[in-house]
Amino acid sequence: MTVRTTRVLALSGSALTCADLPPADTVRWSASRKAVILAALRAGLLSIEDASARYRLSREELLSWQTSVARHGLPGLRINRLSLYRATRAVPEIIG
């Protein structure tokens, strides 16, 4: 794993280090674990390639997490809300 920075701020504002990253064998991705990975990616603690290899996640999966946060904020990372967000996106907006 290539580490560019040793300490960054997590989304909550607390210090985030490599020791705070989820274990490499993580298979259940809660919104808080996803948020930690995204904070590490954003700050350069992990590269997307390192995160993909370490957590056995595709680049597309990690990018979808980033897109969800950009569109819906941190609640967008909750899997139980995913269908709601997809449904609201698919509904055409009525203008006028």
- pTM greater than the 0.95 cutoff: no
Q: CB within 8 A of 17, min separation 6: which ones?
A: 6, 7, 45
Confidence of residue 75 (pLDDT cuts 50, 70, 90): confident
Range ranked top by mean pLDDT from 8-12, 34-38, 78-82: 34-38
pLDDT digit string (tens) for 31-69? Answer: 999 999 999 998 888 999 999 999 999 999 999 999 988
Residue 16 has what DSSP assignment? E
Residues present in the chain in total: 96
The pLDDT value given to residue 55:
96
Q: Give me the pLDDT at residue 92, please.
A: 47
| Residue 40, CA distances (Å) to 5, 35, 44, 50, 96 in order | 9, 9, 6, 11, 43
The CATH number of 7-90 is 1.10.10.10
Residue in the block written with tokens 């948020």: 35
